[in-house]
A and B are shown apart, each in its own frame.
Chain A
Amino acid sequence: MEEIPASMIADAAEQLAGRLAAALLEHRLPAGKRTLWHTPRRIILGLEDIPVRQSDLEETIMGPPRRVAYDAAGKPTRAALGFAEKNGVSLARVGVVETPKGEYLSLVRRVRGEPAGRILARLIPEAIGSIQFPKTMHWSPDHFRFARPVRWIVALFGGRVVRFRLADVASSRYTSGHRFLGRRRIAVRSLESLGEALQRNAVLADPAQRRARIEAGLAECAARAGGRLLEDAALLETVVNLNEAPSVVLGNFEERFLALPQEILITVMREHQKYFSVLDGEGRLLPCFLAVVNLFSDPGGDIQAGHERVLRARLADAAFFWETDRRQALADRAPALRNVLFQEKLGSYDEKSRRVLELLPRLAEALGRREWLADLETAARMYKCDLITEMVKEFTDLQGVVGGLYARAEGYPETVWRAVYEQYYPKSTASPSPSTGHGAVLALADRLDTVTGCFAIGLVPSGSGDPFAVRRQGNGILKILFDHRLSLSLGRAIEWSLAAHGRVPADTAAELGRFFEGRLRFLFEEMGFAYDCVHAVLAAGFDDPLDALDRLRALEEIRQEADFLSLASNFKRVVNILAKAGEGTDPAAGPTGSEVEESLLTETAERALYRSFLGIRPEVDAARRRHDYVRTLRLMASMRGAVDTFFNDVMVMAEDPATRRNRIALLSAISRLFNSVADISRIVVEKGA
Chain B
Amino acid sequence: MRSKNLQQIILTLERFWDRRGCVLQQAYDVEVGAGTMAPETFLRVLGPEPYRVAYVMPSRRPTDGRYGDNPNRVQKHHQYQVILKPAPADVQDLYLESLAALGIDLGRHDLRFEEDNWESPTLGAWGVGWQVLLDGLEITQFTYFQQAGGVELDPTSAEITYGLERIATFIAQVDSIYDLGWSDDVSYRDIRHREEVEFSRYNFEEANVEMLFRLFALYEEESRRLAAMDLVLPAYDYCLKCSHTFNLLDARGAISVTERVGIIARVRQLACEVARRYLESRERQGFPLLGRSALPQPEPAS
Binding site for B on A (CB under 8 A): 2-3, 5-7, 40, 135-139, 141, 143, 147-149, 151, 168, 179-181, 242-243, 249, 273, 291, 293-295, 298-300, 302-303, 305-307, 309-313, 316-317, 320, 338-341, 344, 348
> Which residues of B have CB within 8 Å of A148?
128
| A139 and B109 form a contact (CB under 8 A) | no
A168, A249, A302, A311 interface centre (most CB from chain B within 10 Å):
A302
Given A148-B128, A317-B70, A137:B146 Cβ within 8 A? yes
B114 touches A139 (CB 8 A): no
Known: A303-B135, A309-B173. 5 other contacts (CB 8 A): A180-B106, A180-B111, A291-B110, A300-B108, A303-B109
Q: B156 contacts A138, CB within 8 Å?
A: yes
> Can you name the residue of chain B whose Cβ is closest to the Cβ of A180?
B106
Chain B residues, Cβ within 8 Å of A295: 107-110
**B130 engages A179 (CB within 8 Å):** no
- Kindly state the separation between the CA atoms of A305 and B137 in the bound complex, as whole angstroms: 11
Complex: how many Å from CA A5 to CA B175? Answer: 30
B interface: dominant SS? loop
Contact call A2/B113, Cβ cutoff below 8 A: yes
B293 within 8 A of A: no
Instruction: Assess the B130–A180 pair: CB atoms within 8 A.
Output: no
0 or 1 for each of B215-228: is its CB under 8 Å from A? (1 = yes): 00000000000000
* Other-chain residue from B89, B136, B154, B258 in contact with A151 (beta carbon distance below 8 A): B89
B110, closest chain A residue (CB): A293
- Whether A139 contacts B70 by the Cβ 8 Å rule is no
Chain B, Cβ-Cβ closest to A152? B89
B108–A309 touching, CB < 8 Å: no
Contact residues in A for B289 (Cβ distance below 8 Å): none
**Nearest chain B CB to A296's CB is how many angstroms away?**
11
**Inter-subunit contact B144/A139 (CB<8 Å):** yes
Contact of A306 among B70, B92, B112, B134 (CB under 8 A): B134
Q: What 7 pairs across the A-B complex have the smallest Cβ distances?
A: A306-B135, A5-B115, A341-B257, A293-B110, A3-B113, A310-B136, A339-B256
Size of interface on B: residues with Cβ below 8 Å to A: 38
Q: Contact between B111 and A339 (Cβ–Cβ < 8 Å)? A: no
In the complex, the answer to whether A242 meets B112 with C-beta atoms within 8 Å is yes
How distant is the Cα of A135 from the Cα of B256 in the complex, in angstroms?
A: 31
Instruction: Give residues 99-129 of B contacting A (CB, 8 Å).
Output: 106-115, 117, 127-128
Binding site for A on B (CB under 8 A): 70-73, 87, 89, 92, 96, 106-115, 117, 127-128, 130, 134-137, 144, 146, 154-156, 170, 173, 175, 253, 256-258
User: Residue B111 contacts which of A147, A179, A300 (CB distance < 8 angstroms)?
Assistant: A179
A339 touches B257 (CB 8 A): yes
* Residue of B whose beta carbon sits closest to that of A306: B135
Whether the Cβ atoms of B136 and A311 lie closer than 8 Å is yes
A137 in contact with B72 given A7-B115, A295-B110, A312-B175 (CB within 8 Å): no
Q: Which residue of B lies closest to A299 (CB)?
A: B108
The residues of B that contact A180 with a CB separation of less than 8 Å are: 106-107, 111
Q: Which of A3, A181, A307, A317 contacts B136 (CB 8 A)?
A: A307
Residues of A with C-beta under 8 A to B87: 139, 149
What separation, in Å, do the CA atoms of A316 and B154 have in the docked complex? 43
Give chain B nearest CB distance to A261 CB in angstroms.
Answer: 21
Q: When A179-B96, A340-B257 are in contact, do A313 and B109 touch as well, CB less than 8 Å?
A: no
Known: A137-B146, A139-B144, A151-B89. A306 touches B107 (CB 8 A): no
- The closest CB in chain B to the CB of A320 belongs to B70
Find out whether the CB atom of B258 lies under 8 angstroms from the CB atom of A341.
yes
Q: Could you say which residues of chain B place their CB within 8 Å of the CB of A243?
A: 112
Query: Is B173 touching A305 in the complex (CB atoms < 8 A)?
Result: yes
Q: What is the distance, in angstroms, from B170's C-beta to the closest C-beta of chain A?
A: 7
Task: Say whether, besides A310-B135, A317-B70, A138 and B146 are in contact (CB < 8 Å).
Answer: yes
Complex CA–CA separation, A51 to B30 (angstroms): 66
A136 to B130, CA, bound (A): 13
Q: Give bound CA distance, A528 to B137, whole Å.
A: 46
Cα of A90 to Cα of B274 in the assembled complex, Å: 72
User: Residue A344 contacts which of B107, B146, B155, B258 (CB distance < 8 angstroms)?
Assistant: B258
Q: Is the CB of B72 within 8 A of A313?
A: yes
- The answer to whether A291 touches B136, judged by C-beta atoms less than 8 angstroms apart, is yes
Residues on A with C-beta less than 8 A from B137 are 306, 309-310
Q: Which residue of A lies closest to B72 (CB)?
A: A313
Are B130 and A3 in contact, CB atoms less than 8 angstroms apart?
A: yes
| A302, B96: Cα distance in complex, Å | 18
Give CA–CA (A137, B128) in the complex, Å. Answer: 7
28 of the cross-chain contacts (CB-CB < 8 Å) are: A3-B113, A3-B115, A6-B114, A135-B117, A137-B144, A137-B146, A139-B144, A179-B96, A243-B112, A293-B110, A293-B135, A294-B111, A298-B108, A298-B110, A300-B108, A302-B109, A303-B135, A305-B173, A309-B135, A309-B175, A317-B70, A317-B73, A320-B70, A339-B253, A340-B257, A341-B256, A341-B257, A341-B258
A141→B155 contact, CB < 8 A: yes
Shortest beta-carbon distance from A644 to chain B in Å: 67
Assembly CA distance A308 to B129 (angstroms): 26
Give chain A nearest CB distance to B221 CB in angstroms.
Answer: 27
On chain A, the residues within 8 Å of B170 by CB distance are 306
Are A6 and B109 within 8 A (Cβ)?
A: no
If A311-B136, A313-B72 touch, does A137 touch B108 (CB 8 Å cutoff)? Answer: no
A303 touches B144 (CB 8 A): no
Across the interface, which residues of B come within 8 angstroms of A2, CB to CB? 92, 113
Give Cα A341 to B260, complex, Å: 10
Task: Please determine whether B112 and A294 come into contact, CB atoms closer than 8 angstroms.
Answer: yes
Q: Which residue of B lies closest to A138 (CB)?
A: B156
A141 to chain B, nearest CB (A): 7
Residues of A within 8 A of B136 (CB): 273, 291, 306-307, 310-311
Indicate if the CB atoms of A135 and B175 lie closer than 8 Å.
Answer: no
Instruction: Assess whether B135 is in contact with A302, with CB atoms less than 8 Å apart.
Output: yes
Which B residues are in CB contact (< 8 Å) with A137? Answer: 127-128, 144, 146, 156
Nearest B residue to A4, CB-CB: B115
Centre residue among A310, A341, A348 by max chain B CB count within 10 A: A310
Please name all residues of chain B whose beta carbon is closer than 8 Å to the beta carbon of A310 when the two chains form the complex: 135-137
List residues of chain B with CB within 8 A of the CB of A312. 175
A294 lies within 8 A of B71 (CB)? no
A40: which B residues are within 8 A, CB to CB?
113
Contact (Cβ within 8 A) B71 A316: yes
A7 to B175, CA, bound (A): 32
Chain A residues near B253 (CB-CB < 8 A): 339
**Complex contacts, A6 vs chain B, CB 8 Å:** 114-115
Q: Tell me the minimal C-beta distance from B108 to chain A in angstroms.
A: 5
